[in-house]
């Protein structure tokens, strides 16, 4: 599993040689952020799935902060935020809104469509904030619950899949002997 994932991740030396990382070398070049094992991979998947529901372009920043704080694999945490995209964000937010409404027992209020990004980025972000404020507590609670649920499922699934892969590898080596 580790060898499969390492083919797609940048090497520690490639990151160390990048001049853009020089000011953050003490933090971003910590070995645990680039080490790939069962714990760091599962934590990175959980952080990426949790931070993927953060609105706007702050998803990867949130995942990077989680990776630094919890000392989990940084590239995997960033990659797993990409499950939210223009095709999936609206259904996920609808699900979060309904989950929040169900949890709070709110029966009134409907879901309005999010603002379109036709104008500039700054006006879209302010319109998005106004839209989210209008949806209120059900969306906020639903996003928190959905993000926690996705992170928990991702963490457990990664640990189980990694364990199954290890057991199969051990059995293969044992049968070769």
DSSP one-letter code for 97: H
Interval 44-71: pLDDT, tens = 999 999 999 998 789 999 999 999 999 9
**Beta carbons of 79 and 112 less than 8 angstroms apart:** no
- How far apart (Å, rounded) are the C-alpha atoms in residues 73 and 39? 9
How many domains in the chain? 1
Reported as a single tens digit per residue, the pLDDT across 15-52 is: 667 776 666 666 777 778 888 899 999 999 999 999 99
Tell me the C-alpha distance between 111 and 174, whole Å. Answer: 57
Closest of 59, 58, 63 to residue 74, by C-alpha: 63
pLDDT value of residue 118: 72
Which pTM value belongs to this model? Answer: 0.74
In this prediction, residue 21 carries a pLDDT of: 64
* CA atoms of 27 and 87, how far apart (whole Å): 34
Look up tokens 């027992």; give the residue.
Answer: 105
d(CA 161, CA 166): 9
What's the whole-number mean pLDDT along residues 83-101?
A: 91
What domain range is 23 assigned to?
2-176
Give per-residue pLDDT as tens, 103-132: 988 665 566 677 777 767 788 888 878 777
């Amino acid at each position: 599993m580790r060898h499969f994932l390492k083919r797609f991740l940048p090497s520690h030396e490639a990151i160390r040689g990048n001049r853009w990382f020089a000011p953050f070398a003490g933090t971003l070049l910590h070995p645990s952020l680039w080490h790939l094992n069962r714990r760091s991979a599962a934590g990175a998947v959980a952080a990426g799935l949790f931070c993927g529901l953060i609105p706007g372009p702050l998803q990867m920043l949130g995942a990077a902060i989680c990776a630094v704080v919890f000392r989990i694999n940084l590239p995997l945490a960033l990659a797993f935020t990409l499950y939210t995209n223009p095709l999936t964000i609206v259904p996920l937010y609808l699900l979060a809104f309904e989950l929040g409404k169900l949890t709070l027992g709110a029966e009134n209020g409907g879901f309005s469509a999010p603002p379109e990004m036709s104008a500039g980025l700054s006006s879209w972000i302010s319109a998005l904030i106004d839209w989210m404020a209008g949806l209120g507590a059900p969306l906020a609670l639903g996003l928190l619950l959905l993000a926690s649920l996705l992170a928990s499922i991702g963490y457990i699934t990664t640990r189980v899949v990694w364990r199954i892969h290890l057991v199969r590898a051990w059995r293969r080596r044992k049968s070769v002997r």
